[in-house]
């Protein structure tokens, strides 16, 4: 089984050919959402590789939300689908906003 994937719209597709995958990854727009709150940047992207633990019995975790800077710097979460990634991004934004409020108060 391949652990490489690409997007067809918002749907993930398994890619068995390494060259096809690498070529797609090089030029594809993989951003789901990118936002900034104060000093915190929140980025959600399609990774193209499964980030689930090798022994995990879950769908492939192909999307990642990460925080850069601010009180939640380096916070990271993974998701299986585009829809989960969008929802996770919104949740992370709310958590970052709350953390910034606590740090300021």
**Do the domain assignments include residue 2?**
no
CB atoms near residue 45 (< 10 Å): 18
* Residue 92 located in a structural domain: yes
The more confidently predicted of residues 54 and 64 is 64
Which range of residues forms the domain containing residue 98?
A: 31-104
In a domain, 13, yes or no: no
- Residue 104 has what pLDDT? 74
Q: Which residues of 10-30 are buried (b: 16+ CB within 10 A; e: fewer)?
A: eebeebeeeeebeebbeeeee
Residue 3 belongs to some domain of the structure: no
The band of 85, judged by pLDDT with boundaries at 50, 70 and 90, is: very high
Give the model's pLDDT for residue 3. Answer: 84
User: What mean pLDDT do residues 83-92 have?
Assistant: 98
Other Cβ atoms closer than 10 A to 91: 12
| pTM to 2 decimal places | 0.91
Residue where the block lists tokens 């391949």: 2
23 occurs within a structural domain:
no
* Domain presence at residue 82: yes
């Amino acid at each position: 089984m391949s652990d490489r994937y690409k997007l067809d719209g918002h749907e993930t597709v398994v890619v068995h050919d390494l060259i096809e995958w690498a070529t797609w990854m090089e030029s594809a727009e993989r951003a789901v959402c990118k936002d900034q709150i104060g000093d915190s940047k929140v980025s959600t992207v399609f990774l193209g590789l499964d980030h689930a633990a090798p022994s995990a019995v879950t769908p492939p975790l192909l999307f990642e939300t990460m925080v850069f800077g601010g009180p939640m710097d380096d916070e990271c979460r993974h998701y299986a689908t585009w829809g989960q990634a969008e929802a996770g991004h919104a949740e992370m934004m709310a958590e970052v906003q709350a953390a910034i409020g606590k740090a300021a108060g």
